């Protein structure tokens, strides 16, 4: 499979660093031109969560609810019942944390098609600190029936996720990140909801991630290639999980290492462990936020301290393999 | 407990607090400017005059409880606390950095004297009600002060708590609203109109007062009066100017969440913003000092 990744994408200095939240915002503003039933809702964070490009272009289809995320949810549900396609946009912690039960009842239970577009997921949020670094978003949505969870790996993939989300049914969450991260996929890179991408084939260990950590895994695979053959999978759709792709890789390698900027409880690592425990028990390692609240700091400093940068991830992988 | 600060000394102290807020934000390279500058006079009045507290014994049982609901304005609290002696002023330069106690939003695990962890809006009044209920159960007679922003009065949870406080006649609770008319995306009345805040609180059964949040004499008399109200919970609507003291920041919502040194069209060049801000504040300080002499 040719994924049409950027030329020399493994070289950090050659690849552009772009924000996933920018891709989401541009994606919404572009899609709005075609889809006249698309409505975007903001909650007093429209610039930083990148809903403002849509709002400026289509003011008649933009709704500002103020600092009121439960209302954001209920109003979105009402719009969906009436046949609109609402995109509710704000920081992850407030978007899905504050109104979890209204999401469950007004959107999930009746299978309303609402797209939740977040920003500020993960330690990548940085200086605002743990209240704003949402590291449990996947966990609390994964357990809701019928939710689709998309975690784009970079800027281009974020744009595609917006488009794909529109075409789905039921509730959808797209995980947005504040900090710039390597933009290694291109416009030509395919994107299909529910289809994990084996970006690099290998035989010794399966390494699997969502979001920007996919990029670190690609670099690690290259760095270790003389001693270890890593199979790198981009699990951009955490739910529904691409069981087939993950199972066949696990059968080949017999070892699965999962990485994510999310609590190790309830995220991709958990999803993979659940799958493999039932269908093909192999050794699984969940690398991520170790069930703690972190702290304020620059994203890169936080990734380093909490071992979510490339070096930390590599060390954890090698330690586990020893 | 308090060395008696004169009104003028309090005004001078508030000015020093503003200067240190600017320095802390510049050093951090991120954080909120408008709210902290706008609330400097009130924090100064609280920490240096009104509050029953002891920096040497931060968890003294009989202290007044000061709950900051709108956690993003914590720079003003950190600076006021450092000036009051809770921790060394040098620590202010660690704000928002890794391995610091001064989290971007308040963290009680690191600084218990903050009373509550906050940042997500609309959660403070509820917690303050819990503090007030506990104080009543314990027959304690300290005051619960809850600082809130106008923007977070758009959160339903705020009003759920406002209702409860009236039901339980929490007369040991005073809510202060930073009525600065801004939030992130614009002016509050454009984003989600809040008026009439006064009529709303009164309809919910509260005693409501209003004050100019930059007039030290008025701040102190209003806060003292609030403690004396026994029939109902009290709400003080503090009319403040966001960014107070720095001309280019005043009344401009664009300064809600960024530090001096930020590119904003129409604002002074980013490299000069901090110097302009500090120069303006020092000039103001000299004026306060000069007034001291007569
Ligand atoms: C529940 C929640 N939603 C959204 C935010 C993001 N946020 C931080 S400050 C703020 C603006 C609120 O207005 P106000 O508190 O009046 O701001 P200020 O006057 O200090 O500029 C928002 C929406 C948050 N912290 N918590
Ligand atoms: Mg405000």
Q: What pLDDT digit, counting tens, does each position of B192-243 carry?
A: 999 999 999 999 999 999 999 999 999 999 999 999 999 999 999 999 999 9
Contact A298 B98 (CB under 8 A): yes
Q: What pLDDT digit, counting tens, does each position of B32-79 carry?
A: 999 999 999 999 999 999 999 999 999 999 999 999 999 999 999 999
Of these residues, A69, A136, A156, A260, which one is catalytic? A69
- Rounded Cα distance, B154 and A22, in Å: 27
Q: What pLDDT digit, counting tens, does each position of B176-190 carry?
A: 999 999 999 999 999
Q: In Å, how far is B117's CA from the nearest CA of chain A?
A: 9
Query: At residue B130, does pLDDT exceed 50?
Result: yes
Which chain B residues are closer than 8 Å to A129 by Cβ?
96, 103-105, 107, 119
Q: Say what the pLDDT of residue B162 is.
A: 98
CB-based contact, B100 to chain A, within 8 Å: yes
Q: Name the phi and psi angles at A182, rounded to 5.
A: -60, 130
A69 is catalytic: yes
Q: What pLDDT digit, counting tens, does each position of B161-176 carry?
A: 999 999 999 999 999 9
- The dihedral region occupied by A116, where left means phi > 0, alpha psi between -120 and 50, and beta the remainder, is beta
Q: Say what the pLDDT of residue B294 is.
A: 47
Contact A131 B105 (CB under 8 A): yes
Ligand showing the shortest atom-to-Cα distance for residue B255 = 1
Q: Say what the pLDDT of residue B291 is.
A: 81
Mutate to test the pocket of ligand 1, among A41, A43, A44, A49 (most ligand atoms within 8 A of CB): A44
Query: At residue B2, does pLDDT exceed 70?
Result: no
**Ligand 2: distance of its center to the CA of B80 in Å?**
20
Q: Say what the pLDDT of residue A214 is.
A: 98
Nearest protein Cα to ligand 1, atom 4: A67
CB-based contact, B261 to chain A, within 8 Å: no
Q: Which of B71, B185, B192 sits opposite A131 (nearest CB)?
A: B71
From start to end of A92-130, where are the E strands? 115-119
Is the torsion defined by CA of A125, A129, A132, A133 positive or negative?
A: positive
Mutate to test the pocket of ligand 1, among A48, A67, A129 (most ligand atoms within 8 A of CB): A67
From start to end of A194-248, where are the E strands? 197-200, 205-209, 230-234, 237-239
Q: In Å, how far is A319's CA from the nearest CA of chain B?
A: 25
- Rounded Cα distance, B178 and B148, in Å: 6
Determine the atom of ligand 1 nearest the C-alpha atom of B180. Answer: 19
Of the residues A73, A91, A100, A129, the best mutation for testing chain B's interface (the one with the most B CB atoms within 10 Å of its CB) is A129
**CB-based burial, A292-304: b 16+ in 10 Å, e otherwise:** eebbbbbbebbbb
Q: In Å, how far is B102's CA from the nearest CA of chain A?
A: 8
Which chain B residues are closer than 8 Å to A301 by Cβ?
97-98
CB-based contact, A98 to chain B, within 8 Å: yes
Q: Say what the pLDDT of residue B1 is.
A: 52
- The dihedral region occupied by A83, where left means phi > 0, alpha psi between -120 and 50, and beta the remainder, is left
Q: Which residue of A has its CA nearest to B74?
A: A128
Q: Say what the pLDDT of residue A12 is.
A: 83
- Residues 160-179 of chain A whose Cβ lies under 8 A from any Cβ of chain B: none
- Rounded Cα distance, B189 and A115, in Å: 28
Q: Which of B107, B117, B156 sits opposite A70 (nearest CB)?
A: B156
Give A46-61 as a DSSP string.
TTTTT-HHHHHH-GGG
Q: What pLDDT digit, counting tens, does each position of B257-291 carry?
A: 999 999 999 999 999 999 999 999 999 999 998 88
CATH architecture of the domain B7-290 equals: 3-Layer(aba) Sandwich (3.40)
Q: Say what the pLDDT of residue A120 is.
A: 98
Nearest protein Cα to ligand 1, atom 26: B120
Q: In Å, how far is B52's CA from the nearest CA of chain A?
A: 29
CB-based contact, A100 to chain B, within 8 Å: no
Give the residues across from B146 on adjacent strands: B67, B175
Q: Which of A66, A94, A298 sits opposite B192 (nearest CB)?
A: A66
Domains and CATH numbers, chain A: 18-182 (3.40.50.970), 197-321 (3.40.50.920)
What are the structural domain ranges in chain B? 7-290
A197 in Cβ contact with A236 (< 8 Å): yes
Kindly state the tokens that stand for B225. 């009066």
Of the residues B155, B186, B255, B259, the best mutation for testing chain A's interface (the one with the most A CB atoms within 10 Å of its CB) is B155
A205 in Cβ contact with A230 (< 8 Å): yes
ipTM comes to: 0.95
Output the CA–CA distances (angstroms, integers) from residue A130 to A2, A44, B24, B105, in the order listed: 39, 20, 20, 8
Q: What is the β-pairing status of strands B65-68 and B144-149?
A: parallel
Q: Say what the pLDDT of residue A95 is.
A: 98
Q: Which residue of A has its CA nearest to B71?
A: A131
Give A73-85 as a DSSP string.
HHHHHHHHHTT-E
- Rounded Cα distance, A26 and A158, in Å: 9
Residues of chain A with pLDDT under 50: none
Q: Which residues contact B233 (CB under 8 A, 6 or more apart)?
A: B132, B165, B166, B169, B170, B171, B173, B174, B175, B205, B206, B207
Q: In Å, how far is B253's CA from the nearest CA of chain A?
A: 12
Contact B185 A44 (CB under 8 A): yes
Ligand showing the shortest atom-to-Cα distance for residue B38 = 1
**Which ranges of chain B does DSSP label H, i.e. alpha helix?**
7-28, 34-38, 40-45, 74-84, 124-137, 156-167, 188-191, 197-203, 216-228, 270-293
Q: What pLDDT digit, counting tens, does each position of A217-234 carry?
A: 999 999 999 999 999 999
Q: Name the phi and psi angles at B216, rounded to 5.
A: -55, -40
């Amino acid at each position: 499979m040719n994924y049409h990744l950027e030329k020399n994408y493994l070289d950090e200095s050659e690849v552009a660093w772009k924000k996933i939240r920018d891709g989401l915002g541009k994606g919404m503003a572009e899609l709005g031109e075609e889809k006249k039933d698309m409505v975007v809702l903001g909650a007093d964070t429209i610039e930083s969560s990148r809903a403002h490009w849509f709002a400026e272009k289509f003011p008649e289809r933009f709704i500002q609810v103020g600092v009121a995320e439960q209302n954001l949810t209920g109003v979105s549900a009402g719009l969906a019942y009436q046949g609109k396609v609402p995109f509710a946009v704000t920081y992850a912690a407030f978007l899905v944390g504050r109104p979890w039960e209204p999401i469950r009842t007004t959107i999930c239970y009746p299978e309303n098609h609402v797209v939740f577009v977040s920003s500020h997921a993960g330690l990548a949020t940085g200086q605002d600190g743990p209240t704003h670094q949402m590291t449990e978003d996947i966990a609390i949505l994964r357990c809701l029936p019928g939710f689709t969870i998309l975690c784009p790996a970079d800027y281009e993939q974020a744009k595609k996720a917006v488009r794909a989300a529109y075409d789905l049914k039921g509730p959808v969450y797209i995980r947005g990140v504040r900090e710039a991260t390597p933009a290694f996929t291109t416009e030509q890179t395919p994107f299909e909801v529910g289809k994990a991408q084996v970006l690099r084939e290998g035989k010794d260990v399966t390494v699997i991630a969502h979001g920007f950590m996919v990029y670190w895994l690609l670099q690690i695979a290259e760095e270790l290639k003389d001693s270890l053959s890593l199979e790198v999978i981009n699990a951009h759709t955490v739910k529904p999980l691409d069981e087939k792709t993950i199972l066949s890789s696990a059968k080949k390698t017999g070892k699965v290492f999962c990485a994510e900027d999310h609590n190790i409880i309830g995220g991709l690592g958990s999803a993979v462990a659940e799958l493999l425990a039932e269908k093909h028990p192999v050794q699984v390692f969940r690398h991520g936020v170790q069930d703690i609240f972190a702290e304020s700091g620059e994203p890169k400093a936080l990734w380093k301290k909490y071992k979510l940068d490339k070096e930390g991830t590599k060390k954890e992988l090698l330690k586990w393999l020893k | 407990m308090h060395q008696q600060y004169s009104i003028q000394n309090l005004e001078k102290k508030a000015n020093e607090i503003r200067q240190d807020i600017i320095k802390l934000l510049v050093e951090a390279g991120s954080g909120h400017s408008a709210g902290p500058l706008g609330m400097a006079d009130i924090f100064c009045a609280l920490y240096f005059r009104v509050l029953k507290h002891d920096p040497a014994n931060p968890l003294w049982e009989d202290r007044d409880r000061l709950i900051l609901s709108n956690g993003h304005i914590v720079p003003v609290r950190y600076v006021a606390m450092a000036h009051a002696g809770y921790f060394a002023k040098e620590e202010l330069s660690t704000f928002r950095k890794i391995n610091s106690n001064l989290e971007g939003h308040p963290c009680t695990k690191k600084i218990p004297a903050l009373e509550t962890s906050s940042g997500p809006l609309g959660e403070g009044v509820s917690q303050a009600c819990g503090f007030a209920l506990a104080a009543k159960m314990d027959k304690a007679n300290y005051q619960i002060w809850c600082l809130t922003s106008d923007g977070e009065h758009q959160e339903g949870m705020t009003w759920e708590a406002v209702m409860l406080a009236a039901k339980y006649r929490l007369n040991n609770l005073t809510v202060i609203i930073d009525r600065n008319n801004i939030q992130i995306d614009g002016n509050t009345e454009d984003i989600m109109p809040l008026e009439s805040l006064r009529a709303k609180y009164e309809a919910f059964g509260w005693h409501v007062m209003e004050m100019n949040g930059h007039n030290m004499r008025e701040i102190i008399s209003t806060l003292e009066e609030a403690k004396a109200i026994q029939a109902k919970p009290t709400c003080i609507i503090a009319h403040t100017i966001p960014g107070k003291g720095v001309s280019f920041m005043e009344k401009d919502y664009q300064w809600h969440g960024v530090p001096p040194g930020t590119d904003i069209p129409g604002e002074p060049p980013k490299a000069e913003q901090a110097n302009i801000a500090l120069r303006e504040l020092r000039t103001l300080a000299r004026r306060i000092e000069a007034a001291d002499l007569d």
